[in-house]
Amino acid sequence: MNTKEDTKMFEYDEFGLFTSQKHIDNFLYYMTTIYQEDFFNYKFFALPENELSFIYIISEIFDYPLISDNQDFHEIFKNIDKESNYIEDNQQEVIDLAYGFLNFSIQISDTRKLPLTYGILIKNAMDILSSNNDIIQFKQYEVVNIAKKYHEQEYHLQSDYFISL
């Protein structure tokens, strides 16, 4: 039986869209709670790109999902406010950009001081937001597709484990 660490987390992530284990885990959690119906019925283009880019950033910044079952975006906003005392300046800057993406606006500012991973995060979130204007690759679809495949992989591992018992 393979443990979680043994599995290749980036097996389907050939473009490196997810930066860490917690990133993909949190993102998957938001997908399965907020967008349950579209996510499980493979309607990836139906998902709103502004909300996806917001969630994409939030799931990397915080170590754990900010909502529990049956909760929505209002709870995420509330919990971000609650956490605001513990957030670093760098993180706050990225969160402000994420709020902008949620309102379909991209504010250009100097991001050279930010760590490299945050730079990649912002770039990908911008690509997700402008996915409809992209002729090469649909990042909106791509990100959710990776999460879905990861979910299937996890599900198979779990069922294998129960069979082995």
Residues of the shown chain interacting with other proteins in the complex, contacts defined by CB under 8 A: 14-15, 42-45, 134-138, 141-142, 145
Quote the DSSP letter at residue 48.
-
| Residue with Cβ nearer other proteins (61 or 144) | 144
| Residue with Cβ nearer other proteins (46 or 82) | 46
CB 7, min distance to other proteins, A: 19
Residue 47 and residue 35 in contact, taking contact as beta carbons nearer than 8 Å: yes
Alpha-carbon distances, residue 57 vs 91, 105, 110, 118 (angstroms): 10, 15, 18, 9
| Residue with Cβ nearer other proteins (19 or 145) | 145
Kind and range of the H or E run holding 96: helix 89-102
In 35-144, the DSSP E strands lie at: none
CB 13, min distance to other proteins, A: 11
CB 38, min distance to other proteins, A: 12
| Residue with Cβ nearer other proteins (93 or 127) | 127
Q: Report how far residue 129's alpha carbon sits from residue 72's, in angstroms, rounded to the nearest whole number.
A: 20
CB 88, min distance to other proteins, A: 34
Sign of the four-CA dihedral 48, 123, 147, 94 = negative
